[in-house]
Amino acid sequence: MLKKAFILASSSSSLVNFRGQLLLDLIQQGYEVHACAPGLLEDKHAFDWLIAQGIICHNAPFNRAGLNPFHDIRAFFQLKKLFCKVKPQLFLAYTIKPVIWGTLAAARAKVDTRVALITGLGYAFTGTPSGKRRIIQFIARKLYAAALKRSHIIFFQNSDDKSGFNRLKLLPEGVPVHIVNGSGVDIHKFPDTPLPAASLSFLLIARMLGDKGIREFVDAARIVKGKYPHISFHIVGGLDSNPDSLPQYEVEAWCNEGLIEWHGHQADVRPFIQACHVFVLPSYREGTPRSVLEAMAMGRAIITTDAPGCRETVVDGDNGFLIPVKAVEPLAHAMNTFIENPELVETMGARSRTIAVEKYDVRKVNSGMLSFMGVLKK
C-alpha cells in the first residue's frame, strides 16, 4: 500500500510555484501526495497542474490572513477530521497558519511524521510590536511553541530565524532543526538569459506590502530619476489582504507621477525578469526570497537588504549589493552605481547565475530535505 504525504500551505499558487518539484519528488519516492490550501479547488491553474501530476487536492478550511480566532479553531477541528480520513504517514506544513493549526491537528490525528518548515517570520513577528500587532505576536508565539513541540523535524530557511526562535524559547528540546537553502529554484525553468538592449531598468517582484520595502524602492526611484530620467522602474505584485498591504490609491499615485510601472500580479514572472537589468528587493526580512533566487537563476545582478534571509543571497560586491533596511539613500546610490558602471550589470549577473546553480538548485535543496525526513530512497 502506498504511503501518503500531506502538504499544507496558505496559498494554492505556492504549491505549484514554490513546492511543485518537492511534490513531484515525493511521488518519485513512492508516496501518494495530497496538497491542501485555501481555495485550491477553485484555483484552476494550480488545481489543473496538481491533478495532472496525480496529486490529490483539498481546500484548507482557513483564511491565510484572517485574524478571527474562532475561525482558526474551527479550522483545527476540520483539519483533524481531514487527516483522520486521509491517514497520511507524513505531514509537512509551511507558513504560519499551516504550521500552527496543521501541526496541532496532525498531532491530534496521530500522523506518524510531522514536519514544520518556517519560511519567514511575517506580520506576526516583524514590525513595531504595539497595539494589535503586539497581541498577535504574543498569541502567535504561544501557538508556535505548542505546534513545534509536536513536530518531529523543523526546517528554517536562514540561521537568523532559527536564532530568533531560539531566543524566544520556541524551539523544543530533542526535535531536530535543519537550515535549508530556501525553497530552491528550478534552474531549467528559470534559465540564464541575455540582458536586454534597452535602457537600464530595475525590477521589484513582491506582494504589495510595506515590509517588502516597496516605499523605499519608489523613494529611491524618485532620487535616481532626478538625475537619470530615462531609467525605468517596474513592480510586479498584487495587492494583499495582509494588514500591512499598501492601499491601491498610493500605488496608482506613484504610477501617475511617472516613478514606476506597476504590472500587478503575474502568474509567470519570467518575461519581466528577462526584460530587466537589475533586480531589487529592499525587504525588511525574509525566509529566503524566492523572487531573488529566480532573478539570480536568470542571470541578474541583485540589490537587496542586509537583513535575515536576504543577506544569504548576495555576496556584497560580487553578485550585487547589500544595503541597510529602510535606507533610501544607500539604495539610490547602489542603483546609480549600476547606471554609471554598466559593466557590473553583466559581471554581477553572471555571478548570480553561478551561485543559483551551485547553492539554490531546487533538486539539491529538496534532496537534502527528503534525506533529513528519512524518505529518500537509498
Tell me: the pLDDT tens digits for 302-361? 999 999 999 999 999 999 999 999 999 999 999 999 999 999 999 999 999 999 999 999
Separation CA 215–CA 250 (nearest Å): 10
- Three-state SS for 296-341 is HHCCCEEEEECCCCCHHHCCECCCEEEECCCCHHHHHHHHHHHHHC
Segment holding 76, helix H or strand E: helix 69-86
Q: With a cut of 50, list the residues of the chain below it in pLDDT.
A: none
| Fold entry, domain 201-359 | Rossmann fold (3.40.50)
Supply the pLDDT for residue 137: 81
Q: Give helix then strand counts, H and E, for the chain.
A: 15, 13
In whole angstroms, give the CA distance from residue 254 to residue 60: 36
Domain coordinates in residue numbering, the chain: 3-184+361-373, 201-359
CATH class of 3-184+361-373: alpha beta
CA distance 102 to 39: 16
CA-to-CA dists, residue 210 to 262, 311, 323, angstroms: 15, 19, 17
Give the three cell numbers for residue 186.
528550478
pLDDT reported for residue 103? 98
**What pLDDT sits at residue 273?**
98
Beta bridge partners of 100: none
* d(C-alpha 202, C-alpha 66), whole Å: 33
Q: What is the pTM of this model?
A: 0.86
pLDDT score of 257: 96
pLDDT at 134: 77
Q: Which three cell numbers stand for residue 148?
A: 513545534
- At residue 113, φ and ψ (nearest 5 deg) are -125, 125
Q: What amino acid occupies position 331?
A: L
pLDDT for 127 = 57
Q: Which contacts qualify for 104-112: CB closer than 8 Å, 24 or more apart?
A: 104/76, 104/143, 104/146, 104/147, 104/150, 105/76, 105/77, 105/79, 105/80, 106/6, 106/79, 106/150, 107/150, 108/80, 109/80, 109/83, 109/84, 111/6, 111/83
pLDDT of residue 244: 80
User: What pLDDT is recorded for position 128?
Assistant: 60
361 beta partners: 185
Q: What's the confidence (pLDDT) of residue 2?
A: 85
Provide the grid cell at 2: 502506498
Dist. CA 349–CA 365, nearest whole Å: 22
Q: How would DSSP label each residue in 186-252?
A: -TTTS---PPPSSS-EEEEES-SBGGGTHHHHHHHHHHHHHH-TT-EEEEE----SSTTBPPHHHHH
Determine if residue 43 is left, alpha or beta; phi over 0 gives left, psi from -120 to 50 gives alpha, anything else beta. Answer: beta
How would you label 359-375 residue by residue, b for 16+ Cβ within 10 Å and e otherwise? bbbbeebbebbbebbeb
